[in-house]
Copies of this chain bind each other. A is one copy, B any other.
Amino acid sequence: MPPSTAPRSWKEKQRQEREALILQTAEEVFCEKGYHETSIDEIAARVGIAKGTVYLHFPSKEDLLVALFRRDTEQVISEVEAIASSPGCSAREKLEAILHLLYGELFKKRTRLFYSIYNSPEMRVLLEKKKEMGDHWGQLTHCLEELLAEGQAAGEFDPELPTSVMLSLFLNLVSVRGYERLVGQEGLAPAEVARYLARIYFKGIAAEHKPSC
């Protein structure tokens, strides 16, 4: 019975749970209404806490967004890197797995805001202040770029295509708009959509004359 660690860890646990709850709620409201249309008051109200409590966890609304971005990016990056470093798979297989990851269950939950951020000039302004966010994102794109280059080197992908173009298009395979249209309105399954997109994309970037033949 450690009298000092137990309470501390309990308090700490409480604290972290609350922080996660704030983040989760903030993400929901940000996604629903957008960053500027969301007030700290509303986030607090939805969590069921007082406004001031939010500020015990995040020093400003902006930092709340940054924390959210970090949480999601780290989550995604670690999963993506796990896939990227899995042995015995071709670059294409890895990228396809990543696409499914991004488009699949995860998407619904964590990447909506995340994608919106980079597409919106609203956010660019904010992001320029917080260099770290750009760095995180850079980590992800760097990882993808290497896979693409690897695939080109291995003769899987068309070597004439600039890697940056392939990367850009790969990132655009996933989009909030597309998701909502295809999954939300048309009723397609995320995995199905991902499969189609992969099919088009990888066929599109495939090397001209596959090895033999």
Contact = CB atoms under 8 A, between A and B. Distances in A.
A31 interface: yes
Contacts of A125: 32-34, 37
Contacts of A181: 164, 168
Contacts of A120: 34, 116, 119-120, 122
Contact of A164 (B168, B186, B205): B186
Interface stretch (A67-75, A90-98, A172-180): A172-180
Nearest to A208: B203
Interface stretch (A10-18, A45-53, A193-201): A193-201
Contacts of A173: 169, 172
Q: Which of A121, A125, A176 has the most chain B CB within a 10 Å cutoff?
A: A121
Given A161-B196, A165-B200, A169-B173, 4 more contacts: A34-B123, A162-B186, A165-B188, A203-B206
